[in-house]
């Protein structure tokens, strides 16, 4: 098994959970923010939907530019799951054929020709495509709780859902 195969299997497994979270986003609260410095619910949900594909495309480059961090807000909740589905497909297309040498090669982030970050590609994919994604998905769960919406199970029971109950 190649390194990327394990990461993409994890991506696929976590995408199922992320879909369940995105399906709970209430249309009437897309512009809601828990704090003035926070992203709106619609921005955060769309970010979660877009992260895998966008990060994978950056990871596929040997040297990537620092991206512009402008986060649009979802116009409707109906766009969230299809955006996630396309994002997962984009991640598979961008990284699916990488061998172990490509995954362990140094990936670089540059701004104005100056190196900002360098690390093995596998570390970037793990830290940003996956861990960063999980972090923001966790934020979405907090937003749902603050909005008194049912919180789906992610890795185990929540106060609203227990997949282990018989």
Structural domain contains residue 23: yes
Q: How many domains does the chain have?
A: 1
Q: Where are the alpha helices (DSSP H) in the chain?
A: 3-23, 41-59, 80-95, 100-104, 121-124, 132-146
Q: What is the pLDDT of residue 67?
A: 84
How much of the chain exceeds pLDDT 70, in percent? 100
Assigned domain for 52 exists: yes
pLDDT in tens, 140-155: 999 999 999 999 999 9
Instruction: Give the burial class of 32: count Cβ atoms within 10 A of its Cβ; 0-12 exposed, 13-18 middle, 19 or more buried.
Output: middle
| CATH classification of the domain holding 70 | 1.20.120.450
165 falls within a domain: no
Is residue 142 assigned to a domain?
Answer: yes
pLDDT at residue 166 tops 90: no
Q: Which DSSP state fits 29?
A: G
pTM of the model: 0.95
In angstroms, the Cα distances linking 15 to 2, 50, 161 are 20, 11, 18
Assess if residue 164 is contained within a domain: no
Q: Look at residue 152 and tell me if it is in a domain.
A: no
Residue 24 lies in a domain: yes
Is 29's pLDDT higher than 80? yes
Question: pLDDT tens-digit profile of 71-103?
Answer: 999 999 999 999 999 999 999 999 999 999 999
Q: What integer is the mean pLDDT of 30-34?
A: 98
Residue 122's domain comprises: 3-146
């Amino acid at each position: 098994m190649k390194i990327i195969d394990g990461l993409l299997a994890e991506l696929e497994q976590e995408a199922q959970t992320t879909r369940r979270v995105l399906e709970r986003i209430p249309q009437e609260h897309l512009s809601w923010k828990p704090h003035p410095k926070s992203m709106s619910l619609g921005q955060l949900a769309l970010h979660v939907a877009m992260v895998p594909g966008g990060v994978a495309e950056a990871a596929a480059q040997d040297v990537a530019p620092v991206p512009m961090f402008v986060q649009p807000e979802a116009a409707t909740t109906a766009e969230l799951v299809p955006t996630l589905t396309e994002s997962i497909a984009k991640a598979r297309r961008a990284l699916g054929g990488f061998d172990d040498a490509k995954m362990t090669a140094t990936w670089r982030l540059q701004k104005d020709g100056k190196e900002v970050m360098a690390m093995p590609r596998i570390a970037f994919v793990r830290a940003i495509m996956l861990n960063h994604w999980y972090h923001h998905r966790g934020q979405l769960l907090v937003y749902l709780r603050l909005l008194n919406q049912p919180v789906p199970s992610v890795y185990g029971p929540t106060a609203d859902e227990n997949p282990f109950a018989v």
